[in-house]
Amino acid sequence: MQTKLKLTTANIKSIPPNDKKSPSTEKEYSDTELTGLKLLSGKNGSKRFLLRYRFQGKKASIAIVKL
């Protein structure tokens, strides 16, 4: 399930870990300001940023930072 919110410092800190009973390992949050910017929250509380984009017609992503 994808959720959209403005990825501010306060919002990022308030994001809970992904539910341990969830079949997916991470829950994805999309930024409302920057298209393609994602925050993934893991079951152990880890968070990482991805930037998803298209290059020469192919989908790609790059990890920006791991929190």
Q: Say if residue 1's pLDDT is above 60.
A: no
Question: Which CATH number is correct for 2-66, 3.30.160.390, 3.30.450.20, 3.30.2270.10, 3.40.50.300?
Answer: 3.30.160.390
Q: To the nearest 5 percent, what fractions of the chain are helix, strand and coil?
A: 10, 50, 40
State the pLDDT at residue 9: 94
Instruction: Report the DSSP pairing between strands 37-42 and 26-31.
Output: antiparallel
Provide the 3-class DSSP secondary structure of residue 10.
Answer: helix
Provide the 3-class DSSP secondary structure of residue 53.
Answer: strand
Q: What's the rounded Cα separation, in Å, for the pair 25 and 43?
A: 6
Joined together, the tokens standing for residue 12 give 């990022």
In the block, tokens 């992503």 appear at 61
Question: pLDDT tens, 11-61?
Answer: 999 999 999 999 999 999 999 999 999 999 999 999 999 999 999 999 999
